[in-house]
Amino acid sequence: MFRRIADKLHQAEKIVFVTGAGISQESGIPTFRGKDGLWRKYDAMKLATIDAFYENPKIVWEWYEERRKNILAAKPNPGHLAMAELEKHKPVHVLTQNIDGMHKRAGNTKVYELHGSIITIKCTVCDFKDTVMTSFSELPPVCKCGNILRPDVVWFGESLPQNVWHAAIQQASSCDIMIVVGTSLAVSPANLLPVYAQQNGAIMVEVNPEETPMSVSMDLSIRSSAAKALPELLLYFKDKL
């Protein structure tokens, strides 16, 4: 299985990954819907919304501040690092639903953050936007203009950043191979990206310990974790360099 995928990677002109919370699970960042999932402890469907934020910005900020602390202390895992290593040999584009910035920290340079970034903070009113790697003393933090700040993430009911979304569709529609890693494909419109790739005749590969709604249409499914499967795949790939 790994050899077959490694051969396809060698033949590919463009490799596109679609990643979700599962690829960061082995960095100690909880997924949403898994047993360790964020959604067990909190109702993320409620908290990750613009209404919750305006109703009770302090509660939403406490949730994000807790996640920011964990993410800023976390490190890219061998799964992230294998993807960064692959980019040294082939054109690799990473379309990620994750807001943890791990792909860039691992070294991938063509990363499309479909749902924004928890490390970037923006003002709810003026155009202030900045990367903030420290924790805030008071919540919700206030902008110089006097309005409250928010994490620069896409909440449910908010549209994705259009430039990023259109660029992601472009990549998904023009790749030879798409590797879908660590996502339940439960959230739209990100879950459409594998459909674009499939329509374009790309080879479809999935890395996930569990089935997903698109497992049936995958050419190859690796039922394993990202931190195990991706370094192994890279070994087979480098074997034929």
143 binding partner (options ligand BV8, Zn ion, none; Cβ < 5 to 8 Å by kind): Zn ion
Pairing of strands 15-19, 177-181: parallel
The listed partner (ligand BV8, Zn ion, none) that binds 128, CB under 5 to 8 Å by sort, is Zn ion
The footprint of Zn ion on residues 196-235 (CB under 5 A) is none
Tokens representing 36?
């360790």
Please state the separation of Cα 127 from the chain's center in Å: 25
53 is written with which tokens? Answer: 């934020």
Minimum distance from residue 28 beta carbon to Zn ion (Å): 33
* CA distance to 41, 45, 122, per residue, from 80 (Å): 26, 27, 27
**206 three-state secondary structure:** strand
Which of 91/164 has CB closer to ligand BV8? 164
Closest distance to ligand BV8 from the beta carbon of 241 (Å): 26
> Per-residue contact track with Zn ion, 86 to 125, x per CB under 5 A?
-------------------------------------x--
- Asked whether the bond before 91 is cis by omega within 30 degrees of 0, the reply is no
> Which residues contact ligand BV8 (rule: CB under 6 A)?
20-23, 25-26, 31-34, 37, 48, 97-99, 115, 153-159, 182-184, 186-189, 207-210, 212, 225-226
H helices of 112-192, in order, are: 162-172
